[in-house]
């Protein structure tokens, strides 16, 4: 959530952010609601003050009545009668205000929750991922002396991926990993988790079913509801997470942390669920865009300092690059443009790994910094050395997501005989297995 005070001071910044991020938010309507809300609160406060003032005046009149002569008492009784009518009038006015506040406040909160974080200076201006800017590449894009197979055909030939039966079991965008395919999937995830623990991140086992407050606090509601799986029959306020970011970032919601205990560095391996609404007909074959997958996610909660956020953004990006380099997979890093940023992201870097079957790089990682956007929504604060409470900053990045990463891993390492060479970094997780053979 944005700072409403800052929005009042710089409304054009948020109007521009809405345009750049392609998120329709009526900033003028929000400001009008905010102005009315503040006026109503002031009116209510004034009525309370008037009630207190009348109470004192009635008490003072009662004291004067006891001491006054008959003629003065008559006048004082008239004044008393006028004063005693006013509380009933005030109560009616308060009721009108309360009814309007009850109607207005949910509308105002909903609009505030939809206002995007302005992109950082330096974020490329663009409308979609076609306008993302390549920053660097790593590794060599492979060439083959034979006709390579895509991961679906390769997985079927090796008996390690079964799309057909996955669809039979669970519908479109479903799959089954078998034998060495399942072991490879687990090995990639375990390698990523181990590398993060070595880098000082605390491993966490977290819920994949979370309350609405956690989804809303991390920015996945209300705007992203169409992408979420909701446990409607069980409880319509419970959701399956699309990333461990939700649980890890919301872990400290409604808490005050000590600045001396920051940064908090967490990593979790979890199942993830996404509806992929709005992607009908897009990437329907294979493992690229699926409903259920597993991911190792890194999250940092640090003090509310821009330079520190930028530092940690570079670090979490480097962590993900280290995993891909260990797997010897060629990739590129792109600076995500304004139109491809999420609501709460001030800046984002994507890592795209080379996928031979796509004849291009495909997104496998996203590293995001939010500043205090998520922390405000989560009421996540820290206490500094002077005892002042400030909102924390939050960041997150994929360490690895599987089975999507199996696409480049299998396709790049395939051999002419249909076998796949296992990257050296994974062999110890597979009992020394060097090749997956038909």
**CA-based R_g, the chain, Å:** 29
Q: Is 103 a catalytic residue?
A: no
Q: Is 404 a catalytic residue?
A: yes
Catalytic residue among 270, 366, 368, 402: 366
Q: Is 363 a catalytic residue?
A: yes
Catalytic residue among 264, 274, 377, 381: 274
Catalytic residue among 100, 211, 289, 303: 289
Residue 350's contacts (CB-CB under 8 Å, 6 or more residues apart) are 132, 333, 334, 336, 363, 365, 366, 367
Using DSSP, state whether 233 is helix, strand or coil: coil
Q: Is 274 a catalytic residue?
A: yes
First to last CA, the chain: 52
Dihedral (C-alpha) 435, 363, 190, 216: value to the nearest 10 degrees? -160
Pairing of strands 256-258, 381-383: parallel
Catalytic residue among 363, 368, 377, 411: 363
Q: CA quadruple 241, 245, 251, 254: dihedral positive or negative? A: negative
Residue 147's contacts (CB-CB under 8 Å, 6 or more residues apart) are none
**Stated length of the chain:** 438
Residue 218's contacts (CB-CB under 8 Å, 6 or more residues apart) are 245, 246, 249, 250, 344, 374, 377, 378
DSSP string for 26-79: -HHHHHHHHHHHHHHHHHHHHHHHHHHHHHHHHHHHHHHHHHS-HHHHHHHHHH
Q: Write down the H helix ranges in 137-179.
A: 151-158, 163-170
DSSP 216: H
Q: Is 366 a catalytic residue?
A: yes
**Which of 160, 138, 182 has the alpha carbon at shortest distance from 414?**
160
DSSP string for 282-318: SS-STTSS-SEEEEEEEEEEE-S-HHHHHHHHHHHHH
Rounded to 5 degrees, what angle do the CA atoms 210, 216, 218 make?
85
Residues labelled catalytic? 274, 289, 363, 366, 404
């Amino acid at each position: 959530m944005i700072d409403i005070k800052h929005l009042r001071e710089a409304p054009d910044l948020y109007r521009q952010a809405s345009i750049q991020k392609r998120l329709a938010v009526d900033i003028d309507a929000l400001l009008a609601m905010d102005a009315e809300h503040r006026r109503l609160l002031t009116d209510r406060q004034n009525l309370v003050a008037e009630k207190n003032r009348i109470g004192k005046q009635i008490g003072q009149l009662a004291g004067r009545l006891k001491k006054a002569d008959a003629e003065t008492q008559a006048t004082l009784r008239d004044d008393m009668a006028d004063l005693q009518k006013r509380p009933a009038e005030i109560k009616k006015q308060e009721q009108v205000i309360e009814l309007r506040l009850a109607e207005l406040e949910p509308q105002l909160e909903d609009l505030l929750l939809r206002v995007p974080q302005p992109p950082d200076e330096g974020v490329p201006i663009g409308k979609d991922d076609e306008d993302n800017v390549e920053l660097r590449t790593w590794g060599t894009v492979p060439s083959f002396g034979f006709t390579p197979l895509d991961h679906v055909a390769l997985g079927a030939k090796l008996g390690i991926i079964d799309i057909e039966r996955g669809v039979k079991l669970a519908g479109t965008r479903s799959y089954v990993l078998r034998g060495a395919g399942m072991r490879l999937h687990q090995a990639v995830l375990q390698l990523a988790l181990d590398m993060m623990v070595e880098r000082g991140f605390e491993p966490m086992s977290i819920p994949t079913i979370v309350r609405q407050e956690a989804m809303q606090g991390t920015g996945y509601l209300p705007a992203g509801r169409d992408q979420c799986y909701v446990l409607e029959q069980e409880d319509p306020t419970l959701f399956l997470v699309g990333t461990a970011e939700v649980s890890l970032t919301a872990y400290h919601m409604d808490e005050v942390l000590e600045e001396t205990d920051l940064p908090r560095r967490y990593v979790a391996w979890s199942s993830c669920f996404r509806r992929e609404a709005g992607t009908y007909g897009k990437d329907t074959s294979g493992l690229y865009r699926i409903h259920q997958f597993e991911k190792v996610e890194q999250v940092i909660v640090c003090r509310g300092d821009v330079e520190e956020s930028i530092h940690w953004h570079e670090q979490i990006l480097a962590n993900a690059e280290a995993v891909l380099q260990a797997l010897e997979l060629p990739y590129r890093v792109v600076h995500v443009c304004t139109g491809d940023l999420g609501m709460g992201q001030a800046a984002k870097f994507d890592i795209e790994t080379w996928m031979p079957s796509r004849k291009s790089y495909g997104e496998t990682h996203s590293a995001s910094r939010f500043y205090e956007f998520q922390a405000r929504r989560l009421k996540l604060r820290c206490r500094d050395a002077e005892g002042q409470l400030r909102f924390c900053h939050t960041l997150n990045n994929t360490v690895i997501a599987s089975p999507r990463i199996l696409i480049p891993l299998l396709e790049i390492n395939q051999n002419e005989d249909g076998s796949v060479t296992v990257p050296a970094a994974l062999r110890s997780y597979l009992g020394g297995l060097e090749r997956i053979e038909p």
